[in-house]
Structure 1
């Protein structure tokens, strides 16, 4: 089965990228045609590159293409949120996360590193079997992901798509960039594959914060329908007691969801297909 979705139209280039291409062309003409204009044209190009870099370093930015930071209004009106859990699966943490979710009757979306899914295939299948979702968080979670060119990004994402489909039998519909960082080459790849870029509404910084109370406060301050929450079962920080912070935070977080009448749903349940050509 092909994992590439037939796109109904050419990639819709974001205005910032379109303007950047136009400016590069204009700068080249100015540098060649106007005496003394080359330094100014080069400076303008450098400023443009700085703007593109800043957009890629802002995980919730939509300047480089669509970016899901909240669930649709209909889901928010139903009191739905999305609990997303990154960087696993981790056999020392993920099973306990699954138990806590089951105990509270909530669903989560696991943005998994495909390399780890290969190493822990049975655990990845258990995530799906227990009613949750496995989505694409790249193949190897490379620290230089945001510096890759179009071929490098496509290779990372497509390899992960294939691994996750082979292991779980389900084709991911969403992608989260490592650390949320990206560049202008990412969205054309995601569009071709029919993948939503998904970031978050609020995050707990639980890969570096060792105090569960502070993580919980970040996640629940103003928590409301439509929010997308970010936690980690992989690379999880440890509390002073040595326990993974996510396991200390989840019981209280899920209890607050219950008292606020919020239901955590999977992203596939809340989001439409990115384009009509996407296949299941």
Structure 2
């Protein structure tokens, strides 16, 4: 079994969090030592918490820790992009996705929900057998993921890592938060497990958009080497004809990529392990 390296090095606290701790200390001192300062101190702490919340609700933000929104420069220089597919595996959709990728000679990264992978172990292994990679999209895809504390994050990610590595024999080195939402407690857990937080450059909103052409336009507007694209094989919206949107968008998207001279590669191939000198 291959393993993503976990880190024993100290977690590098992001500058925003260091500033937040300093602000709390100053506010507490001022409230105690300066007459009449308590309301101002309390207001500054509230404003700080609002800023931290906003950072967690901005999926592509790097304020709470490293967040990969594009492939490394070396990959971009080679005309590579990453096609990432979330929320599966889904036995009604994923096999057709694998066939389409094979037909176009493209590779993808599947961010799998561990409970879904456990329900479809053969299909999950088939993803790897076809030359793609399986990454961590949490254990159960909790809707309150952004409200968890350190123990909740540790339980979700540790369990998902174990389930996915037991099924595939390979330990994921990337994680995507459900809906991309999180809070300051997530990055220390990612650091310990050696996981990159990966969001996206552009997304198609294909879990709610039923028109394939609109999804395609969102994904290809400004498409460039180094982009990370987000689609879904699980929770996929369906067209008016009842077809999962992904299955109609994917052939058109892959044709556009080919015409632009772009090559779809896995995150395993493009992204070095977290903590290495060449990692973003």
Same fold by TM-score greater than 0.5: yes
Other structure's SS at 1:54 match: helix
Q: Would the aligned equivalents of 1:89 and 1:233 in 2 still touch at CA under 8 Å? A: yes
How many pairs align?
A: 277
Shift of 1:258: 1.1
Runs of 4+ off more than 4 Å = 1-4
What is the aligned partner in structure 2 of residue 26 from structure 1? 26
Other structure's SS at 1:207 match: coil
Q: In structure 2, do the counterparts of structure 1 residues 165 and 6 end up closer, same or farther at CA, with 3 Å as the change threshold?
A: closer
How many angstroms apart in 1 are the aligned matches of 2:2 and 2:185? 22
Unaligned 5+ runs, structure 2: none
What is the aligned partner in structure 2 of residue 268 from structure 1? 268
1:154-211 alpha-carbon deviations (Å, 9 max, x no partner): 1101100000000010000000000000100011100111000000000000000000
Other structure's SS at 1:46 match: helix
How many angstroms apart in 2 are the aligned matches of 1:146 and 1:77? 35
How many angstroms apart in 2 are the aligned matches of 1:56 and 1:155? 19
What is the aligned partner in structure 2 of residue 63 from structure 1? 63
Q: In structure 2, do the counterparts of structure 1 residues 126 and 2 end up closer, same or farther at CA, with 3 Å as the change threshold?
A: closer
How many angstroms apart in 2 are the aligned matches of 1:71 and 1:276? 15
What is the aligned partner in structure 1 of residue 147 from structure 2? 147
Other structure's SS at 1:87 match: strand
Q: Would the aligned equivalents of 2:204 and 2:215 in 1 still touch at CA under 8 Å? A: yes
Q: In structure 2, do the counterparts of structure 1 residues 28 and 115 end up closer, same or farther at CA, with 3 Å as the change threshold?
A: same
1:47-96 alpha-carbon deviations (Å, 9 max, x no partner): 00000000000000000010000001111111100000000000000000
Q: Does 1:181 align with 2:181?
A: yes
Shift of 1:36: 1.5
Higher deviation after alignment, 194-203 or 23-32: 23-32
Q: In structure 2, do the counterparts of structure 1 residues 231 and 185 end up closer, same or farther at CA, with 3 Å as the change threshold?
A: same
What is the aligned partner in structure 2 of residue 171 from structure 1? 171
Taking only aligned residues, the RMSD between alpha carbons, in angstroms, comes to 1.4
Other structure's SS at 1:18 match: helix
What is the aligned partner in structure 2 of residue 90 from structure 1? 90
How many angstroms apart in 1 are the aligned matches of 2:142 and 2:198? 18
Higher deviation after alignment, 54-63 or 32-41: 32-41
Unaligned 5+ runs, structure 1: none
What is the aligned partner in structure 2 of residue 127 from structure 1? 127
1:183-202 map, 5 Å: 183-202=183-202
Q: In structure 2, do the counterparts of structure 1 residues 228 and 6 end up closer, same or farther at CA, with 3 Å as the change threshold?
A: closer
Q: In structure 2, do the counterparts of structure 1 residues 228 and 131 end up closer, same or farther at CA, with 3 Å as the change threshold?
A: same
The TM-score normalised by the length of structure 2 is 0.96
